[in-house]
Structure 1
Amino acid sequence: MSNQADGPIAELRGASKRYGAVVAARSISLAIRRGEFLSFLGPSGCGKTTALRMLAGFETPTEGDVFLDGQKVTDVPPHRRPVNMVFQHYALFPHLTVAENISFGLRQLRPRLPTAEINAAVTRTLETVRLAGFERRRIWEMSGGQQQRVALARAIVNQPKVLLLDEPMAALDKKLRHDMQIELQTLQRQLGITFILVTHDQEEALSMSDRICIMRDGQIVQTGSPRELYDRPNSRYVADFVGKSNFFEGRVDSLEGTTARLTGPGGITFVGHAGDGLTAGQTAVASLRPEQISLTRDAGGLPVTIVNRIFLGELTEYLVRHPDLGPFLIVCSRQTGAEVTDFEPGDTAFVRWRDGAALILKND
């Protein structure tokens, strides 16, 4: 493979994949930057794993092409591509030691590598994933987190240009998953290679990625940084999938530049950034993130009834109900004042939000 230092490390160009009448991927076009951590995020069946498998070579596009490091590889088999993949269930060999698992790919190379070179590579890689001294350990003697590190070590030992990760943390408990997210980020920065992750876990994608591709029905519906997708989703679907949001349906009264005004239930107005494709008079939704709504005992806002309270340590989640808006969620930080912890289900409170806090989006 030639080095195309200024171009993307990987590309899908109009890549589609059909299985009979089922379309798993629809004309996906995406350029993946060198050294970035990119995630495909979406629900089951949205096409994210199909996109990953086309990059890996396990699936051949029905239409379109795949490029790696500037070279067309659409019909190149997986073992001849400069990529490696970590699977959801790791696919480790239980009858082999940790060192034998990691060195398996290196031992398949032709011409054969010297044994000393293979052993040195395994030792270096074990140090990278913080498993030095585990060479002789059997896989079934390892914890879930340790097994994941072995799978990562096996994938990076031959220094691929792209590492593909297919929901590698799905089987881990919440705390271990969080710890491994940090380790993956650190490892990616240390190695400087491109990581491409497939996940349905929004928190996982938001916490680790440089860019995220939100997928739906086999297509990419929006690509951006975690902050861009959270602050400026282009549709209700994206706003709903990236973080938590409250949605209030209504009609767009006016559009002035990038600002829209929407009248919702009970004549309540919402002013905020206008999403793509809006026109005055159309039905749309106002999206309000829970943390953008203040909750107080002071009159002057909209009166609500506390329906439920969930204490989350630094944060408290309140489900409240308004006669016209219905139920919606508010997140209060302890830093906003101790009085927020005093609300109990059944209490009356008042909510308000600043003009401009809402996003006015197409109701798709």
Structure 2
Amino acid sequence: MLISNMDIGNEAYTEPATLAPAPIAELNEVSKSFGTVQAVSDMNLSIAQGEFLSFLGPSGCGKTTALRMLAGFETPTTGNVLIDGSDVSSLEPYKRPVNMVFQSYALFPHLTVGRNIGYGLKQRRPKIDQKKINEKVAHALATVRLSGFEDRRIWEMSGGQQQRVALARAIVNEPKLLLLDEPLAALDRKLRKEMQIELQDLQRDLGITFVLVTHDQEEALSLSDRICVMRAGRIVQTGTPQELYDQPNSRYVADFVGTSNFFGGVVDQISGSTGAITLQGGRTYKSPLSGTISVGNDACLSVRPEQIRLHFSQTQERLQGTVLNRIFLGEHTEYLIREERLGNITVLAPRQSDEGLSNLGTGDTVYMDWSPESALILPKD
């Protein structure tokens, strides 16, 4: 019998709510002090199973300390660290379902590649059969595309290959959480980009939760499902790369995630999610708001360089500027332009839209504008 409209008796059937999967790791009210130095303050964070999360921030912001507390190399001064639902705050690193890849790789130079990868397996109790260890090592090497390298010496491997060996050693133990402490910092730019793609592919193939620490915004944007931007021991904003780029909640985040032009002013009016800001020099712009702002507050207008359009003719809305510098970067051209009241403005012109602008040089006059919705009014830091 077919039940119409999911009715059972006189009561309508309600579809059971879908429960969100339990987080694989949590930091609850976690703080860490080193003497009088507060490295991490009141951090609350939930890390989802299978996600690629990054801590992004400048040196000294607390991102590595947060990672080390997840790993067990640091104990929280206050708060709790949970992994897979269990409180591991005081648990030794080797007892946690976690592995870590260090910036220096921390490989044993006197051991072969295979013995480096299998080292952790040989320490397990009860002991694992050597044949089983060899199988796991071979599988880990295949995963990082180094099959057949078992007998190589570490010093015979390139930087990129050593990085893969460090990854293989980390994943061979099948951790629930893989922690990465700036693992690509020692690689050159081209190899770093290649390894970023490999890291992303590896994480998707394995389904392991990756947590990365980096100060490289491009690396965080290209790799992460979510990014935690840190400042002075606190997370100031968490979101997807696109959310952080398009909707930063402060000048600090906008400046750290990508590049932007900032023009100071005063907020004159707020209507819903849109505000009006009057800049130095008297021009008023109506644009979306982000962060906590009230009428009369000092604020800034953030405009990404790629949102600014260049013209040869003047209109009432356009700003007049003088080209200070022009750098051809292949896929786009970067201009540094001086506007009398707003100062230096950076503009990125895609190559396909640069036709006619290629003759612009130092000292030339040019005119600029942008669409109001492409800018953002942010609180003054």
The equivalent position to 1:322 in structure 2, one of 324, 328, 339, is: 339
1:343 and 2:351 aligned = no
User: In structure 2, what is the Cα distance between the partners aligned to 1:341 and 1:164?
Assistant: 46
Secondary structure at the counterpart of residue 52 of structure 1: helix
The equivalent position to 2:36 in structure 1, one of 18, 21, 39, is: 21
Q: Contact 1:271 / 1:357 at 8 angstroms: preserved in 2? A: no
> For structure 1, which runs of at least 5 residues remain unmatched after alignment?
none
Deviation at 1:303, TM superposition (A): 0.9
Q: State the one-letter code of the partner of 1:32.
A: I
Q: State the one-letter code of the partner of 2:285.
A: F
1:25-40 pair list within 5 angstroms:
25-40=40-55
1:1-20 pair list within 5 angstroms:
6-20=21-35
Q: State the one-letter code of the partner of 1:177.
A: R
The equivalent position to 1:256 in structure 2, one of 268, 271, 281, is: 271
- Which string of whole-angstrom CA distances, capped at 9 and with x for unpartnered residues, describes residues 88-133 of structure 1? 0000000000000000000000111000000000001100000011
> Which of the pair has more CA radius of gyration?
2
User: In structure 2, what is the Cα distance between the partners aligned to 1:270 and 1:51?
Assistant: 40
User: In structure 2, what is the Cα distance between the partners aligned to 1:6 and 1:361?
Assistant: 34
Deviation at 1:340, TM superposition (A): 2.2
Deviation at 1:337, TM superposition (A): 3.9
Q: State the one-letter code of the partner of 1:287.
A: S
Matching residue of 1:42: 57
Secondary structure at the counterpart of residue 356 of structure 1: helix
What is the TM-score of this pair, normalised by structure 1?
0.98
User: In structure 2, what is the Cα distance between the partners aligned to 1:112 and 1:331?
Assistant: 59
User: In structure 1, what is the Cα distance between the partners aligned to 2:189 and 2:310?
Assistant: 30
User: In structure 1, what is the Cα distance between the partners aligned to 2:313 and 2:147?
Assistant: 59
User: In structure 1, what is the Cα distance between the partners aligned to 2:264 and 2:275?
Assistant: 14
Q: Percent same amino acid among aligned pairs?
A: 61
What is the TM-score of this pair, normalised by structure 2?
0.94
Q: State the one-letter code of the partner of 1:129.
A: V
Q: 1:234 to 1:328 in 2, by over 3 A?
A: same
User: In structure 2, what is the Cα distance between the partners aligned to 1:214 and 1:340?
Assistant: 36
Q: Contact 1:334 / 1:340 at 8 angstroms: preserved in 2? A: no
1:353 and 2:370 aligned = yes
Matching residue of 2:253: 238
Secondary structure at the counterpart of residue 266 of structure 1: coil
Deviation at 1:6, TM superposition (A): 2.1
1:229 and 2:244 aligned = yes
- Which string of whole-angstrom CA distances, capped at 9 and with x for unpartnered residues, describes residues 152-173 of structure 1? 0000001100100000001111
Q: State the one-letter code of the partner of 1:276.
A: G
Larger mean CA deviation between 342-351 and 43-52 belongs to 342-351
Aligned length: 361
1:33-72 pair list within 5 angstroms:
33-72=48-87
1:303 and 2:320 aligned = yes
User: In structure 1, what is the Cα distance between the partners aligned to 2:304 and 2:246?
Assistant: 9
1:67-82 pair list within 5 angstroms:
67-82=82-97
Q: State the one-letter code of the partner of 1:6.
A: P
User: In structure 1, what is the Cα distance between the partners aligned to 2:248 and 2:285?
Assistant: 17
Runs (4 or more) in structure 1 with deviation over 4 Å come to none
